[in-house]
Amino acid sequence: MKKIVIVDDEPNIVMTLEYTFKKHDFEVYIARDGSEALEILQSVIPDVIMLDVMMPNVDGYQTLKSIKENDQLKDTKVVFLTAKNKASDIEKGLKLGADKYLTKPFSVKKIVSEINELIA
């Protein structure tokens, strides 16, 4: 079974994504911020990590940096899903090592398709 870690502090988005990915046969793990995500990632190596940028405590950029510095996680696919949609934000996310940068609001169908394509 494919595994995904969803890292976002917005309950409605988390619920939507969790429901959607479970329906598409993913094992889903939820973190409300970067520090929670890094805790989960100590025991779970997912196929993909879906990461918001703006979160309390540890933001998405810092989280991605920690993921890429970890030998066990550095090759894990990371997708930013965020409201930060300026060209400079997108460039920063991709430069830090994200595999994709998607913006909110989003189409659930497009997200599932993008994720499946990325981990195929």
Q: Which tens digits make up the pLDDT trace of 43-60? A: 999 999 999 999 999 999
Domains delineated in the chain: 2-119 (3.40.50.2300)
What distance in Å separates the CA atoms of residue 20 and residue 36, rounded to the nearest whole number? 21
Q: What is the mean pLDDT of the chain?
A: 96
Q: In the chain, pLDDT over 70 holds for what percent of residues?
A: 100
**Using the 8-state DSSP alphabet, how is residue 24 labeled?**
T
**Using the 8-state DSSP alphabet, how is residue 57 labeled?**
S
Dihedral Cα 77, 41, 93, 11, nearest 10 deg: 110
- Residue 120's DSSP bridge partners are none
pTM as predicted:
0.95
3-state secondary structure of 78: strand
pLDDT in tens, 3-30: 999 999 999 999 999 999 999 999 999 9
Q: What is the phi/psi pair of residue 90, to 5°?
A: -60, -45
Q: Which amino acid appears at position 64 of this protein? A: L
